[in-house]
């Protein structure tokens, strides 16, 4: 079950990834407010009750949606409510949050992500310049080093997610599958030791037409190298 904490009429994210399935931030400015905690919980409770009545199995509740879920000002409280509802209605169901990791300096975001079973945190490149071209964080002070320090606080209990691609965007060549990229990325993986690494590529249409999928054999080779570190991988090509 997917949960979108962001407005339905647009996108809200502190990254503006060139491959984002939701489109570029500038093209999808939202005009509505974020849904409040009570509204989110009422909708979730209704949905869980409906699923239970139908006898539907529910493996995972995933926070993703139209942007970055941790930007919701009541994120931690919503996670607390979700855990309480889940414990009551579907105690076996896991909770996942897909996050760009940009807001981990906020204590409440860090706390919330510590409480869920699957914090899935993005790191598309070990190099600031590649992240700036690929993910386009809106904070001028963004750095991979700071991001890595935040990820270290999970002490390996998180899933790291990386999207690999090749292409050009606004005249810049972008390729995070090169040996320089992959070997430096592996060095960070060795340091962070996440419990799992999700390796994937473009799946649906992207806002920029000049991007190409990283071929499956390339993703598999990268996964093999992660596997050699004794870390589980999940590849989607």
CB nearer to ligand SF4: give 191 or 203. 203
Distance, CA of 62 to chain centre: 10
Q: How many residues does the chain have?
A: 237
Nearest approach in angstroms of CB 69 to ligand SF4 is 9
List binders of ligand SF4 among 169-228 (CB under 6 A).
none
Decide if residue 17 touches ligand SF4 (CB under 6 A). Answer: yes
Nearest approach in angstroms of CB 122 to ligand SF4 is 6
Residue 3 tokens, joined: 């949960």
Q: Which stretch binds ligand SF4 (CB under 6 A): 15-23, 27-35, 42-50, 52-60?
A: 15-23
User: Cα separation of 194 and 18, whole Å?
Assistant: 25
Decide if residue 68 touches ligand SF4 (CB under 6 A). Answer: yes
Residue 66 tokens, joined: 């139209």
Closest CA to 76 of 108, 44, 99, 101: 108
Nearest approach in angstroms of CB 105 to ligand SF4 is 17
The half-sphere exposure of 13 on its side-chain side, counting CA atoms within 13 A, is 28
How buried is residue 200: exposed, middle or buried, by Cβ count under 10 Å (0-12/13-18/19+)?
middle
CB nearer to ligand SF4: give 18 or 192. 18
The residue count for binding ligand SF4 (CB under 6 A) is 10
Q: Which stretch binds ligand SF4 (CB under 6 A): 9-17, 110-118, 178-186, 194-202?
A: 9-17
Kindly list the distances between the CA atom of residue 141 and the CA atoms of 29, 83, 218, 226, in Å, as whole numbers in the listed order. Answer: 23, 33, 32, 29
Decide if residue 100 touches ligand SF4 (CB under 6 A). Answer: yes
Residue in 13, 48, 188, 197 binding ligand SF4, rule: CB under 6 A: 13
By the criterion CB under 6 A, which residues form the site for ligand SF4?
13, 15-17, 20, 22, 67-68, 100, 135
């Amino acid at each position: 079950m997917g949960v979108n904490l962001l407005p339905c009429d647009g996108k809200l994210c502190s990254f503006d990834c060139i491959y984002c399935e939701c489109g570029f931030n500038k093209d999808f400015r939202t005009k509505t407010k974020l849904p409040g905690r009570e509204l989110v919980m009422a909708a979730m409770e209704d949905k869980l009750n409906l699923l239970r009545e139908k006898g539907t199995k529910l493996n995972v509740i995933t926070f993703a949606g139209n942007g970055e879920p941790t930007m919701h000002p009541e994120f931690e409280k919503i996670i607390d409510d979700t855990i309480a509802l889940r414990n009551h209605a579907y105690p076996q169901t896991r909770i996942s949050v897909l996050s760009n990791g940009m807001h981990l300096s906020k204590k409440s975001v860090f706390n919330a992500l510590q409480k869920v079973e699957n914090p899935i945190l993005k790191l598309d490149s070990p190099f600031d310049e590649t992240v700036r071209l690929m993910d386009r964080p809106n904070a001028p002070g963004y750095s991979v080093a700071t991001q890595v320090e935040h990820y270290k606080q999970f002490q390996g209990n998180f899933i790291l997610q990386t999207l690999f691609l090749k292409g050009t965007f606004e005249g810049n060549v972008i390729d995070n599958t090169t040996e320089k990229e992959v070997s430096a990325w592996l060095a960070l993986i060795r340091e962070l030791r996440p419990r799992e690494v999700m390796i994937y590529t473009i799946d649906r249409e992207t806002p920029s037409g000049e991007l190409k999928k990283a071929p499956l054999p390339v993703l598999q080779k990268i996964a093999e190298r992660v596997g050699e570190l004794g870390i589980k991988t999940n590849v989607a090509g």
